[in-house]
Amino acid sequence: MSATLAIRQARLEELPRLTEIELDAFATLAEALGISDAAQALPHDVLRKALEAGLLIVAADSDDRPVGFLAAEEIHDTLYVIELDVSRDWQRKGVGRRLMSHAVEMAKTRRLSALTLTTDRHVPFNAPFYQSIGFQTVGGQDMPPFLWAKIDDEVSNGMDPERRVAMVLTLGGASSHLTTS
């Protein structure tokens, strides 16, 4: 089914659809974590900022309707993945992998050194998924300060610090400069 998908830049009028996708995808996460918390979607200003930077991409079906999206921002010579979501009926069909592959190409085009993100360390479609495509877990002195700040912010917003992890996918070279502030 993913063969009928197109990966493209999002459009401003699609932001409400991206919120729908994020809320729908949260149901899978809530089930995996055994929680009943209400989902909170990214504010549209975050999505709009990613869109304006050319860093908001969608996977669109054969009717050109988004079924998944990836929002990112450039931070310290890296492409930081803010959010990756796929609607439930398109999950486990390679959509997230295709979006991440496109993000890698965007980072290479921008001559960035790495992709970075924070995620849940235990849910199979989070950290284990990212590890399967080459991301490495970072911590301690190897973690860039901006990722520490992201984790701290997530914990202050109620996420379990034992479950949060920072990850880096280095793009063709040393990542020693990632630890500078």
Whole-number Å distance between alpha carbons of 69 and 169: 19
Pairing between β-strand 114-120 and β-strand 78-86 as defined by DSSP bridges: parallel
With 50 as the cut, is the pLDDT of residue 2 above it?
no
Q: Which of 120, 130, 129 is nearest to 163 (CA)?
A: 120
What pLDDT was estimated at residue 178?
35
Q: ∠ at Cα 128 (125, 130), nearest 5°?
A: 85
Question: In the chain, what are the domains?
Answer: 2-179 (3.40.630.30)
Q: Greater confidence, 60 or 29? A: 60
Q: Give residue 84's Cα distance to chain centre.
A: 4
Whole-number Å distance between alpha carbons of 100 and 107: 10
Q: 67-95, pLDDT tens digit by residue?
A: 999 999 999 999 999 999 999 999 989 99
Q: 99-146, pLDDT tens digit by residue?
A: 999 999 999 999 999 999 999 887 767 888 999 999 999 988 889 999
pLDDT band of 174, cuts 50, 70, 90: very low
Q: 19-44, pLDDT tens digit by residue?
A: 999 998 887 766 665 666 656 778 89
Pairing between β-strand 56-60 and β-strand 66-75 as defined by DSSP bridges: antiparallel
